[in-house]
């Protein structure tokens, strides 16, 4: 193993489970520095930890070991139940782990908006809002906070009806600000109405059906650069595609000529269940 290039060893480690990585870290001081970035890439903070003073111990550990604090890239706060009581601890962890880029937050009422100071806003590159429902704070996040996160390029939000956006941001100015910075987006399609020419979007996952007019608009605005497209499709009661509600495969290919990944949901396992299966037709030529 000592003769293998470091890059090859890192590649092998990337396929190992956390349990195996922990064992390697314990028994080999030589490989410990290679294992730590995998083990501490994402740290998940839980409310029950605070009962046993776990957050205080974590802060001390991160302060005393720069190899650990610099390895953190994702801060998972999805299961924090009392962010108001732990706001200072959360902010301190964010300050210590200077290389983090992604936050995972609850979309419901526990959304810890207090942590979004100017430094956090400028550091945030990826934000994932977990949960099926949004709380009362969600509007403030999308309308007041996200437009000021100048480096946010990857966003994942739960399903929201069009009327929610129309009510929360009637002019669409706030939505237009953040959606035109995104490179990756997963969520409802309505914000895509505010895309402009020059938007850097290259990966799109729509959690709700996308209308043909919107797909055509996307083709005009980001069609040449889009490499991944995942959308829902309309089904009738007998699980057949509604022909009028999706574009033909040839049209999709002409709108998005550089696609490398494509997905239409739901996909049926029985070939006869979906006549003119768009995925089969799109992939057949290539």
Residue with tokens 């009738």: 236
Cα gap 113→80, rounded to integer Å: 12
**What region does 117 belong to: left with phi over 0, alpha with psi -120 to 50, or beta?**
beta
* Spatial separation of the C-alpha atoms in residues 273 and 50, rounded to whole Å: 51
Q: How far apart are CA 157 and CA 133, in angstroms?
A: 10
Judged on CB neighbours under 10 Å (0-12, 13-18, 19+), 52 is exposed
Lookup: tokens for 159 = 């399903």
Cβ(144)–Cβ(118) below 8 Å: no
Per-residue pLDDT in tens (0 to 9) along the chain, 286 residues: 567 677 777 677 776 777 776 777 777 777 777 777 778 888 887 755 544 466 778 888 889 988 888 889 999 988 776 656 567 788 888 889 989 999 999 888 778 888 898 999 999 999 999 888 888 889 999 999 999 999 999 999 998 999 999 999 999 999 999 999 999 999 999 999 999 999 999 999 998 888 889 999 999 999 999 999 998 765 544 444 444 456 666 788 889 999 988 876 554 444 444 444 555 555 555 4
Give the rounded distance of the alpha carbon of 272 from its chain centre.
34
């Amino acid at each position: 193993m000592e003769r293998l290039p470091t890059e090859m060893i890192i590649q092998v480690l990337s396929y190992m489970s956390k349990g195996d990585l922990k064992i390697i870290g314990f028994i080999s001081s030589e490989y410990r520095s290679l294992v730590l970035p995998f083990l501490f890439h994402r740290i998940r903070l839980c409310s029950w930890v605070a009962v046993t003073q776990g957050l205080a111990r974590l802060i001390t550990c991160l302060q005393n070991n720069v190899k650990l604090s610099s390895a953190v890239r994702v801060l998972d706060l999805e299961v924090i139940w009392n962010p108001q009581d732990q706001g200072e601890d959360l902010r301190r962890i964010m300050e210590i782990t200077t290389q983090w880029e992604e936050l995972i937050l609850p979309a419901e009422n526990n959304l810890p908006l207090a942590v979004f100071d100017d430094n956090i806003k400028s550091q945030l590159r990826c934000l994932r809002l977990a949960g099926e429902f949004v709380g009362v704070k969600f509007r403030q996040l999308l309308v007041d906070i996200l437009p000021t996160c100048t480096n946010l390029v990857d966003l994942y939000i739960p399903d929201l009806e069009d009327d929610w956006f129309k009510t929360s941001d009637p002019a669409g100015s706030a939505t237009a600000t953040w959606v035109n910075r995104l490179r990756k987006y997963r969520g409802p399609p309505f914000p895509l109405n505010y895309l402009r020419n020059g938007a850097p979007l290259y990966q799109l996952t729509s959690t709700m059906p996308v209308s043909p007019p919107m797909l055509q608009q996307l083709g005009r605005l980001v069609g040449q650069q889009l490499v991944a497209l995942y959308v829902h499709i309309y089904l009738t009661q007998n699980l057949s595609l509604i022909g009028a509600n999706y574009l033909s495969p040839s049209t999709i290919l002409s709108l998005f000529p550089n696609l490398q990944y494509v997905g239409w949901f739901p996909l049926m396992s029985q070939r006869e269940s979906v006549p003119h299966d768009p995925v089969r037709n799109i992939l057949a030529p290539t």
